[in-house]
Structure 1
C-alpha cells in the first residue's frame, strides 16, 4: 500500500491552528498494527470497528488499503464532519457511521481505539466491546505516552482477560486487549445523581464532561440564575421566547431553566454524542423532556440566526488534551449569531480568560453578574 497522505487531513470544521494537527503517531501505529492483524486473520473491513477516530486518520487509511465496510464511532459531531470532508477530498468511500451501540460492534473481530481522556468513557467503551463484539475480538488501543496511566490498564482488565501494553514508539504506546470476560446483565452507564440544592437529577454516559456531578463552573452559573430569577422571568415574557443551552453537557442549565420558567421553549445542544444522550436522560428524569429539545450539533449550527432570546453558556477551554481557547471563542461567536437584538447570553468562564472582552466585541455590552476566586459570570446584551 502506498504511504497514506496524512498531511492532507484537516480538522475543519473543528478549530484549526498551527499547533493542532489532524493526526498523530498513535494513529499511524494503530493503522500499521491493524493492517497486519487483518492480513494475518483474513479479516474484511466489515469485521473491523473504529472508535475515537478524531478526524479520519484511523478509518481513511484502512479504507484506502481496501478494507471497505468499516464501522466507525466518533463522539464529536465536528470529528464526524471532518472525516466526511477528508474522505471526499481524498476520494475515499466505504465506511458506516454509528453510535456507541450493539450495531457498531456486532460480530466485530478487530476494534481500533484512540484512548479517551476520561476513565469513565473508557469504561463504557470497554463494556460495549466486551458485550457486543465477537468472542475472539482483539481490541487495539493506543495513546500518547504522556497521557496514559496504569488506571487505563486497570479499567480494561475489568472487562478482558488479556491486557498487554506494548513497547512505546514515537512517544505513543499500543495496548493489545483480548478475551472478553463475563459481564453483568446491565451496562454500567448511564449513571445518575440527585442534586437537591438545585432540585435537579443529572444523568451521564461515560464520555460526558463531569459525569453525573455538577462541575464548579456550572454551579456558579446556576447560583447566579437562582439569585436573578426575576430577571430571567422578565426576559422570558418576550414574544416567542426561546432559550438555548449552548454546549449543554449533561443538561443541568437547560433542565434548571425549564423547571424555573415552565413557559420557556428551551433547546439544549452539544457537539458530543455522549453529552446529548446524557442530556436527554436528564430531561426525562426531571420531567421536562416535553419542553426541552436536545440535539447534537456544532455550535448551534442548525438553529436559525437571530432567533434566540437567552443563551446559557459554559464554554470549554480544552480541545481534547490541549489547553486552547478556540472552542470557547467559537461558541461566543455562535451566541452572537443566534441572539435577537436585545437578547442575552449568560456566560461563566475561568476568570483568567479574556472572554469578557471577546463577548463585548462579538455580542455587545457585557457586565459582570458575579465573581468567585476562580470563575466569573457575565451577562451580554445583543446590540
Structure 2
C-alpha cells in the first residue's frame, strides 16, 4: 500500500502533520503473519488516526476489518482514504463505536499506543473482556512517546507482553495469553471524582483531557463566568470542544433556565460529558453531540459559546485547530452574541479572535491563561 497517498482531511493538515508514520508500518510488519492467518472479521483496529492500519491490514489480505477511531474527523478521513486508495466492497473497513460488538470474536487487534495510560487500560480491558480467548494485541508508537508503564498496563490484562526491536524511532508491544484468573475484571469506566472547590462530579473515560480533574484554565474560565456578565439573558449556550463536559454541567447548574449543547469531535469526550451531566443532575438540559466543531448547529443561532480550545494535534503544536473553532463560533453566533474563550497566554490568540469573531475584550488573566469575550458584530 502506498502510505504517501493517505491524507488527514478533513482534519487540520500542515507541516509536521502526517497521516501516517513509521510506527504504523512497523505495526503492520509485526502483525503481517497474524493478519494472514485471521479469518473474515477477526482483525480489529483501535485508535487508527487516519486509516493507515485499517487499510494496511486490508491490503495485507484481511477482510471484514472492524475499526474504531475516537475522532469524528479521523473516521471521515478513513472513509476518504478508502476511496482515494481504491478499496471497495468487502475491502472497506467497517467503523463501529467502542463496544462489545466491535471486539467480539477478534483474534488480532492492531492499535496505536495512546499516550494516556488510562486510555490504554480501558482499551486493553475491553479487548480482554470481549475478544476471542486467543486474541493478540499488536500496539505500536514512536519511542519518544512510549514508557515502560505501557508494558505494565498491558501486563495487567495479558500474561505475555513481547517487545519488538526498534525501527525508525518506533517500537511495537505484542500482548497475548489473556489472563484467565484475574480477567475480566469489572469495567470501571468512566471514572468519577468530585471536585470539592466546584462541588461538581467529573466523569472521564480514558484519554480525555485532564481526566477526572479540572485543569487550571477551565477553573479561570469558570471563575470569570461566575461573575454573571456572560450574556446573562441567553436562553441557550454551547460548550464547544467540551472534553469531560465540566463547563456544560457547571453552566446548566449555575443557570437553571439555560439549555446547553456540549460538543466534541472525540467519542470518549462526548461519552464523558454525558456521564458528567448525569452525575450532576443536569442531563435534562445538556445535550451532548460528537461532531467536528459546530457543524450540527445552524448559523446565527446562539448568543453564548464557551470554549477552552485544544492547541495540539497529536504531538505537534498547531494553532490551526483553535482558528478552525473560532471560525465555527463566528458562523454560529447570532449578532451581538459572544464567544467566551480561555487560552494559554503565550499563544496570543486575541488578534485572531478580533479578526475572525469580532471586538474582543480581556475578562481575566493569570500567569498562564487569559480569558476573553469576543462579540459578533452585526
Larger deviation, residues 100-109 vs 63-72: 63-72
> What RMSD in Å do the two structures reach over aligned CA positions?
1.2
Who is 1:237 aligned against?
Answer: 233
Q: Is the 8 A contact 1:242 1:307 kept in 2?
A: no
- What are the superposed Cα offsets for residues 332-361 of structure 1, whole Å, 9 maximum, x if unpaired? 111111101100011000000121111010
Cα distance in 2 between the residues matched to 1:104 and 1:205: 17
- TM-fit CA distance, 1:131: 1.0
2:151 is the counterpart of 1:153: yes
- TM-fit CA distance, 1:244: 0.6
Who is 1:170 aligned against?
Answer: 168
Larger deviation, residues 255-264 vs 29-38: 29-38
Cα distance in 2 between the residues matched to 1:196 and 1:116: 29
Q: Is the 8 A contact 1:117 1:321 kept in 2?
A: no
Who is 2:26 aligned against?
Answer: 29
- TM-fit CA distance, 1:236: 4.2
2:274 is the counterpart of 1:277: no
Who is 1:200 aligned against?
Answer: 200
SS at match of 2:41: helix
State which of 287, 295, 314 in structure 1 corresponds to 2:289: 295
Who is 1:209 aligned against?
Answer: 209
Cα distance in 1 between the residues matched to 2:351 and 2:40: 50
- TM-fit CA distance, 1:32: 2.2
Output the TM-score relative to the length of structure 1: 0.95
Cα distance in 1 between the residues matched to 2:374 and 2:140: 43
Who is 2:342 aligned against?
Answer: 348
Who is 2:38 aligned against?
Answer: 43
Cα distance in 1 between the residues matched to 2:334 and 2:239: 15
- What are the superposed Cα offsets for residues 33-74 of structure 1, whole Å, 9 maximum, x if unpaired? 2222222xx212400100010101111122234322111010
Q: Tell me the matched-pair count.
A: 372
State which of 3, 8, 11 in structure 2 corresponds to 1:6: 3
- TM-fit CA distance, 1:185: 4.5
State which of 72, 81, 86 in structure 2 corresponds to 1:86: 81
- TM-fit CA distance, 1:237: 2.4
Who is 1:140 aligned against?
Answer: 138
SS at match of 2:272: helix
Q: Is the 8 A contact 2:16 2:316 kept in 1?
A: no
Who is 1:69 aligned against?
Answer: 64
SS at match of 1:342: strand
Q: Is the 8 A contact 1:308 1:343 kept in 2?
A: yes
Who is 1:323 aligned against?
Answer: 317
- TM-fit CA distance, 1:137: 0.6
Note the residue ranges of structure 2 that are not aligned, 5 or more in a row: none
Cα distance in 2 between the residues matched to 1:330 and 1:345: 14
Q: Is the 8 A contact 1:47 1:70 kept in 2?
A: yes
